[in-house]
Amino acid sequence: MELGSIEREIRIEASPEVVFDVVSSPEHLKEWWPDEAELSPDGNGRIGFGKSAEGITWEQFTVVDAMPPRHFSFRWTHPEGERAVLGNSYLVVFELEPAGTGTLLKMTETGFRERGWAEAKVAAEYADHVNGWDYFIPRLAPYAEKVGAGR
């Protein structure tokens, strides 16, 4: 198994401007992906999963590039206090293309093999992220469409 990247593509009936906001703004992110999201003006922040009795598990989040309304990328899961780089984080890229009255969103996540983990750990992390994106990406379209309809 290659385990190098996860790729997903969906069509959303909302403009690229709306979809860009939905994939890049903390107030929108937490409506379809993490339970909590915090992002400072410098592009550093954290996202949290699992509102439960044990509390939230926080993951570091750093914006790599933002070119509204076509491209948004970030690194995540790097250790707190460390700069997000290849080898200590995953890279997620959202590419947005106008498609008729909507947007074609292409998402790619990489960085599994670069973490230096044993094959079993790489496979487990990759499978966990595949399952995660398979759950979260389908939530993105209806939410973005709702946001777009409200504008």
**Band (1; pLDDT cuts 50, 70, 90):** low
Bridge partners of residue 106, in order along the sequence: 9, 95
Q: Which residue has the higher pLDDT, 3 or 62?
A: 62
Residue 53, pLDDT above cutoff 80: no
What number of other Cβ atoms are within 10 A of residue 57's Cβ? 13
**What is the structure's pLDDT at 138?**
96
CA dihedral 65, 67, 69, 74 (to 10 degrees): 0
pTM, full prediction: 0.95
Checking if the pLDDT of 50 tops 80, the result is yes
Q: By C-alpha distance, which of 21, 20, 52 is closest to 36?
A: 52
